[in-house]
Amino acid sequence: MSRSFVKRCLFYFVGLIIMSIGVAMQVKGFVMGLAPWDVLHFGLWQSVGLTFGSWAVIIGIGIVIATSLMVKALPKGGVYVNLLTIGAFIDFFVWLLPDVESWPAQAVYFTLGVFVAAFGSAFYMTPNLGAGPRDSLMLVLVVKFNLRMARARFLMELIVTVFGVILGGPVFIGTILIVLFYGRIIEMFFPYTRELLIRFIGYNDPKIIQFK
């Protein structure tokens, strides 16, 4: 096992943790609404039961199956790591982070959470070990339909938001802003996360993901 692969795995794992913290921050600041997928998870949590993280895993399994059928191939190993750990990470940080009551404090929580989650998404996708179920679906849309990442993210999350609203998930201005701009924020972070990983590894490993 090469040192580069070990370092890519470590980078991937740290990215998952960062992204989980960002999602948990958005949950704590849900007065602003939630990210589209989290609107769906929240609606299922409140209307059906289980936990927020459990629904993140269950929906993720469905997406993995769907994307595997679309590309006619099994996903990379990192997808399974993401699928099995992300729900527990989110539940842990939702439990760990303090609750806030005031609207301004929740707005700050949510806004910071969006940027933290976007940075975490770019961070863990950069090593090219397999994106999580939702990001894998986005990447499939980018490749199959020759879309920019921001456009693929917008279409995917617009549809998810509609289903989340039907289930009673919290939607407000924050949700709309994420639908419109979250993909662009992730794109914005990729050059920086790629440079960080190159410096961490020590050279420009050709296996590191690149985007147009």
Taken in order 132, 97, 92, 176, the sign of the CA dihedral is negative
Residue 96 above 60 pLDDT? yes
CB atoms within 10 A of CB 162: 13
The span from the CA of 155 to the CA of 159, in Å, is: 7
Question: Mean pLDDT lowest for which of 17-31, 46-60, 130-144?
Answer: 130-144
Residue 209 banded pLDDT, cuts 50, 70, 90: low
pLDDT band at residue 145, thresholds of 50, 70 and 90? confident
User: What pTM does this model have?
Assistant: 0.78
Domain ranges of the chain: 3-201
Q: What is the pLDDT of residue 1?
A: 58
